[in-house]
Structure 1
Amino acid sequence: MSEFPSQARAVVIGGGIIGCSTAYHLAKLGWKGTIIVERHKLTSGSTWHAAGLVGQLRTSANITQLLKYSVELYNKLEEETGLATGWKMNGGLRLACNRERLTEIKRQATTAHSFGLEMEILTAQEAQKLWPVMDISDVVGAAFLPTDGQVNPADIAQSLAKGARQNGVKIYEETAVTGIVIEKGRAVGVVTDKGTIRCDVVINCGGQWAREIGQLAGVSVPLTSVQHQYIVTEPMGGVPKNLPTLRDPDRLIYFKEEVGGLVMGGYEHNPIPWKPNGERGKLPENFAFQLLENDWDHFEPLMEQAMARVPGLQQAGIKQMINGPESFTPDGNFILGEAPELKNFYIGAGFNAFGIASGGGAGRALAEWVAAGEQPMDLWPVDIRRFGTVHRDKNWVLTRTLEAYAHHYSMAWPHEELESGRPVRTSPLYGRLKEQGAVFGWKLGWERPNWFAPKGVDPKDIYSYGRQNWFDHVGAEHKAARERVVLIDQTSFAKFMMVGKDAEAALSWIAANDVTKKPSSIIYTQMLNQRGGIECDLTVTRLAEDAYYIVTGTGYATHDFNWISRHIPEGLDARLIDVTSAYGVLSLMGPKARDVLHEVTLSNISNTAFPFGTMQEVMIAGVPVRALRVTYVGELGWELHVSMDGLAVVYDALMQAGVPHGIANAGYRAIESLRLEKFYRAWSSDISPDHSPLEAGMGWVVKLKKNIPFLGRDALSTLAAKKLPKLLACFTVDDPSIVLLGRETIFRNGKQVGWLASGGYGYTLQTNIGIGYVRNPQDGVSPEDVLSGSYELEIACQRYPAKVSLQPLYDPKNERVKA
């Protein structure tokens, strides 16, 4: 090896599959001067002992595409590098042992079809033909994905490493990173036990040690090491070489073929974290190519399930048991992206035991993110900016991660809420609302009312794939919003202040809509990336010449603050301040909202004096209130932003004044059904970095006709000059027996053209509503094209006729505007 370098363009920390893949793809992008530093030997952390199953389907289209790319890469990598990878495209089976699980896998198959994957629903007998050594006495069906497969994890990583070397990457093993060099808020180098390397970019692919590497840079990487066990049997009779991988989630186990025998592991409901040095200790630095002590007592329940599924295991010899720690995250998704705390410091870690399946695609996406300076596609499910302050707490992360691990093979119920580590952040109204039957959901640490159980109704969710127990109660809240008035605690909104003499100039560049309005104006706007995709979707209220108040969704607090602050042009006097914890928010919505507000304030709140899209300071019960006349439910209403210490007083005053008008509490599930009827878009589903405002039918909120430069303008101008590749539309399915959840496949004139981004029920219209893009990347899509088609939606592998609209389905002036 040549002399140890003092300079590099990019330093990748960690020589597991993700580090090797990221360096390989950076080199393919022409990044000269990329190096990998590995504390021990390549693959010595968790890569070498991974089970090696490669499944592709996820609930996100883009994450599924990443895994599809892994398969494409593994298909050709051995030919490129000359190193065997052990890749076999032998397909993957998933069993269902009850009717609810069968519904789940049918919905998964529809999701697969939406995302361009083959997935077949099989009978138990058809599944047994593919997997002859299993007992099928309790199997009611199965799903088969023929392009899934398996791989030798260490071999695939070594092959990626060789490919990286062939393209100029230098690899330094036995090199420990002891520090990160930081200057002016940027990572500019790494300190190792062999010397300091200055670089443009640092990429943390440290696996289980990624959290501790992050701490060297003041960056939170929320993951936990969990013990994961599997066995390898001696060769068994009847096990063919082309045996598909098998997942049996009802029994919590998985299988793959290996040298004529089986590998079997699973995801128990009582996982054991790896805490080698106690609660506060660090993971050992010398843990390389090592395993943990076998725990047969803990593994026994999985072994019993496996022997019931494969009776031949009772006579099979056990060649080896593997107990290897792997990194898991609080939500079961991996972590990619640039750290919000530190520029030029990227993370690729926390792969939840599917790092081998993700390796090719995640490495490519991270490399492209590094090279371009922004994500190459919508990667929100794995974006590190999905985390918040609660995720900095190691103990909280441990608690929630163990719950997520235990859910790995549980039913993926619609609307399911994890329960551990709650509550963390609560509104001052939490106790009041709980006493009134509030059933809370969780979002980025906040407790938020999802729905309210009337007296005599158990205030908890009961999950199913049909109409859940809250359906009628949410319908009552929806009806109250449409016909009377509701009060919704939306205190969890993320709230920022942009201040400084150049605040207008900064926001004019970042925001796609015109923010050069007079004080008291509310501007609904998106913020775009260089491709014209929507990075943020929020409201901006001008308070003064040098101050704006920004309100965005609860879950996007870290992301949006990071995006806005990182894009303030250099040299401007503009500062972004997070004021979320300073203000509570009450949304007063419904045709009687003005009547209620009139009872509690002396301010003139008539339509003339207080028009839509404006803000006024009013007094309620002795408390100053910033009242924003906006709506996300399609009715007359105000968001009332109140100091936290005055929130309860204002709530009580409004509830008392609302009694004659039939006021009711409402929650977030009612908001969802109300916004669907109005065809209001939701960021991270209907709109995202992959969607432009033009494609989303929101060109009216973009200042393209004004001579004001803004980020993403050039891309939008190019898009506007031609037929768009996709258009967002609203769909209804009147069949009351079905439930829309999102990811259902859209067919136009018999041809697949997209999938639903979101779905639910419109109680006023009494119909199922979905929102999704009609796509035609080759020839483009016009509004006339969309409206001229005949539509069907595939739901759980069955097609249902659907109607389409490009306009809101509900208008309060004309209550039923059906498609």
Structure 2
Amino acid sequence: MTLAPSDVVVIGGGAIGTAVAYSLARAGRSVTLVERRGVGQEASGANVGLVTLFSGHSFDEPDPGPIYELTRASADAYLALGDEVGIDIEYERCGGVVLAESEDKLRLIRRAADGYRRHGVPVEMLDAAGVRDCEPAFHHDGIVGGAFCPLNGQLNPLLLCRALAQGARRHGVRMLLGTTVHAIACEGGRVRAVRTSAGDLACELVVNAAGAWAAEIGALAGVKVPVKPARGQIMLTEPAPRFIHRVISGAEPSARQTRRGNVIVGGTVEDVGFDKRVAAPTVTEFARGALERFPRLRGLGVIRTWAGLRPASPDHKPIIQLLDEPAGLCLATGHSRRGICYAAGTGRLVTDLLTGRAPFLALETFGLGRFANTEEGA
């Protein structure tokens, strides 16, 4: 069966794929999104939902660079997304604290904070008492200090994916859900079509946003994509009156309180292949860690535990690149546990690449070339 052609086929229906489809459609491209399950049902659905512009990733960029710019582009887009599509993604910039449990860690935080402030990013250093004042619900034993960034925030990942998908549909994106990709047809050194369980799709461009399955999709076009699955487990409590008011990072596990009062706890990154089973010992361990840090969790019932597979690149940074061979294949994967932080920015960057616009940030950070002399890039 042959389906109507599209300019672009996006493979993957998580936060990255839906953001790419939405952005490309808004730029006037005809787009088909192919997803083997449903929207946001893999890594995006197993994300705590933090959107942190200053956190542990900032230590690699003591001056704000491409990672910060990608996150900032996403965070700014989320401010307007609800009004654009009519779905409240529960995004709030509640501010966040990056914690230090040692003087060495505090020095790293201070170095990054100094660099960020030089570029106008608001970051305030805190001593132990300042951390306590910033988030009284957090148990502060062993914390020597930290930093506060008012731009850090949180959102509902599932609502984000639904909003991006709805926006994409409104701009004409064809959504093929429950559809498997069987092959990527190449001819003359470039992509020509995607063969799926729903039929063949002729196209000029393909975006591999298949998350933990990006290596499998890449292999269909003869491309090695250095991404593997990393299991992330999540726990959800019953609702309680709001007591967590800030985004806390730097101390595992991650936790946030939703608008309805439920507390989401998570943060594991486990190398177990494609095993999505919930491991009771691991859940017990991070539940214990959450109780130590947030004593008011004690007595709250656990409603649900689940797991998803994060797409982990060797350095846990995104891979975003329009390839020369085969021409027309673009990679948008490897976002690891920060896919929600990077989704809208990735959509914008991929749209720049596929429409000939000047990219809004430096591309070298996200290219495959950084793995050229490594085992993963061989």
SS in 2 for 1:220: coil
Q: Does residue 15 of structure 1 match 2:13?
A: yes
Pick closer, same or farther for the CA change 1:275–1:30 going to 2, 3 Å: closer
Question: 1:164: how far off?
Answer: 1.9
2:93 aligned partner: 89
SS in 1 for 2:132: helix
Q: Deviations over 1:635-660 (max 9, x none)?
A: xxxxxxxxxxxxxxxxxxxxxxxxxx
Question: 1:366: how far off?
Answer: 1.1
Q: How far apart, CA to CA, are the structure 1 residues paired with 2:239 and 2:7? A: 48
Which AA in structure 2 matches 1:34?
Answer: V
Q: Deviations over 1:384-424 (max 9, x none)?
A: 33223755xxxxx5xxxxxxxxxxxxxxxxxxxxxxxxxxx
Question: 1:153: how far off?
Answer: 0.9
Q: Does residue 225 of structure 1 match 2:209?
A: no
Query: Where do 1:380-779 residues align within 5 Å?
Result: 380-388=364-372, 390-391=374-375
Q: How far apart, CA to CA, are the structure 2 residues paired with 1:223 and 1:214? A: 10
Which AA in structure 1 matches 2:254?
Answer: Y
Q: Deviations over 1:638-684 (max 9, x none)?
A: xxxxxxxxxxxxxxxxxxxxxxxxxxxxxxxxxxxxxxxxxxxxxxx
Question: 1:119: how far off?
Answer: 1.1
Greater fraction of residues in helix:
2
After superposing the two structures, state which structure 1 stretch, 70-79 or 123-132, moved more. 123-132
Question: 1:14: how far off?
Answer: 1.2
Q: How far apart, CA to CA, are the structure 1 residues paired with 2:357 and 2:188? A: 18
1:45 aligned partner: 42
- Residue correspondences, number: 370
Question: 1:317: how far off?
Answer: 2.2
Q: How far apart, CA to CA, are the structure 1 residues paired with 2:263 and 2:129? A: 21
Which AA in structure 2 matches 1:20?
Answer: T
1:255 aligned partner: 255
Question: 1:381: how far off?
Answer: 1.8
Pick closer, same or farther for the CA change 1:56–1:84 going to 2, 3 Å: same
Pick closer, same or farther for the CA change 1:389–1:373 going to 2, 3 Å: farther
Q: Does residue 364 of structure 1 match 2:348?
A: yes
Query: Is the 2:46–2:234 Cα contact (8 Å) retained in structure 1?
Result: no
**Structure with more relative contact order (C-alpha pairs < 8 Å, separation 6 or more):** 2
2:300 aligned partner: 316
Q: Does residue 194 of structure 1 match 2:198?
A: yes
2:136 aligned partner: 132
Q: Deviations over 1:419-460 (max 9, x none)?
A: xxxxxxxxxxxxxxxxxxxxxxxxx77xxxxxxxxxxxxxxx
2:272 aligned partner: 273
Q: How far apart, CA to CA, are the structure 1 residues paired with 2:353 and 2:190? A: 16
Equivalent of 1:159 in 158, 163, 186: 163
Question: 1:125: how far off?
Answer: 2.4
Pick closer, same or farther for the CA change 1:126–1:376 going to 2, 3 Å: closer
Question: 1:312: how far off?
Answer: 2.6
Which AA in structure 1 matches 2:70?
Answer: L
SS in 1 for 2:337: coil
Q: How far apart, CA to CA, are the structure 1 residues paired with 2:115 and 2:303? A: 38
Q: How far apart, CA to CA, are the structure 1 residues paired with 2:267 and 2:11? A: 30
Q: How far apart, CA to CA, are the structure 1 residues paired with 2:369 and 2:354? A: 15
Q: How far apart, CA to CA, are the structure 1 residues paired with 2:318 and 2:216? A: 17
Q: How far apart, CA to CA, are the structure 2 residues paired with 1:389 and 1:96? A: 33
Which AA in structure 2 matches 1:21?
Answer: A
Q: Deviations over 1:88-125 (max 9, x none)?
A: 11111111122111111111212322444211112222
Question: 1:163: how far off?
Answer: 1.7
Query: Where do 1:66-85 residues align within 5 Å?
Result: 66-85=70-89
2:320 aligned partner: 336
2:32 aligned partner: 35
Query: Is the 1:335–1:347 Cα contact (8 Å) retained in structure 2?
Result: yes
Q: Does residue 245 of structure 1 match 2:247?
A: yes
Question: 1:334: how far off?
Answer: 1.1
Which AA in structure 2 matches 1:228?
Answer: G
SS in 2 for 1:353: helix
Which AA in structure 2 matches 1:44?
Answer: Q
2:109 aligned partner: 105
SS in 2 for 1:182: strand
Pick closer, same or farther for the CA change 1:194–1:301 going to 2, 3 Å: closer
Question: 1:351: how far off?
Answer: 0.9
Q: How far apart, CA to CA, are the structure 1 residues paired with 2:146 and 2:374? A: 39
Query: Is the 2:247–2:256 Cα contact (8 Å) retained in structure 1?
Result: yes
SS in 1 for 2:74: helix
Query: Is the 1:369–1:376 Cα contact (8 Å) retained in structure 2?
Result: no
Q: How far apart, CA to CA, are the structure 2 residues paired with 1:185 and 1:73? A: 35
Query: Is the 2:229–2:312 Cα contact (8 Å) retained in structure 1?
Result: yes
Q: How far apart, CA to CA, are the structure 1 residues paired with 2:363 and 2:82? A: 28
Q: Structure 1: which 5+ runs fail to align?
A: 277-291, 392-396, 398-443, 446-819
Q: How far apart, CA to CA, are the structure 1 residues paired with 2:7 and 2:191? A: 12
1:740 aligned partner: none
Q: Structure 2: which 5+ runs fail to align?
A: none
| Larger Rg over CA atoms | 1
Q: How far apart, CA to CA, are the structure 2 residues paired with 1:171 and 1:314? A: 43
Equivalent of 1:216 in 220, 224, 228: 220
Which AA in structure 2 matches 1:273?
Answer: V
Question: 1:223: how far off?
Answer: 0.9
Pick closer, same or farther for the CA change 1:130–1:330 going to 2, 3 Å: same
Query: Is the 2:48–2:255 Cα contact (8 Å) retained in structure 1?
Result: no
Q: CA RMSD in A?
A: 2.2
Q: Deviations over 1:314-347 (max 9, x none)?
A: 4332222222221211111111112354211001
- Provide the TM-score with structure 1 as the length reference: 0.43
Equivalent of 1:6 in 4, 7, 19: 4
Which AA in structure 2 matches 1:377?
Answer: L
Query: Is the 2:231–2:268 Cα contact (8 Å) retained in structure 1?
Result: no
SS in 2 for 1:339: strand
SS in 1 for 2:143: coil
- Provide the TM-score with structure 2 as the length reference: 0.91
Pick closer, same or farther for the CA change 1:111–1:273 going to 2, 3 Å: farther
Q: How far apart, CA to CA, are the structure 2 residues paired with 1:303 and 1:127? A: 22
Query: Is the 1:218–1:341 Cα contact (8 Å) retained in structure 2?
Result: no
Query: Is the 2:78–2:91 Cα contact (8 Å) retained in structure 1?
Result: yes
Question: 1:4: how far off?
Answer: 7.0
Query: Is the 2:274–2:309 Cα contact (8 Å) retained in structure 1?
Result: no
Which AA in structure 2 matches 1:384?
Answer: L
1:628 aligned partner: none
SS in 2 for 1:354: helix
Question: 1:134: how far off?
Answer: 1.5
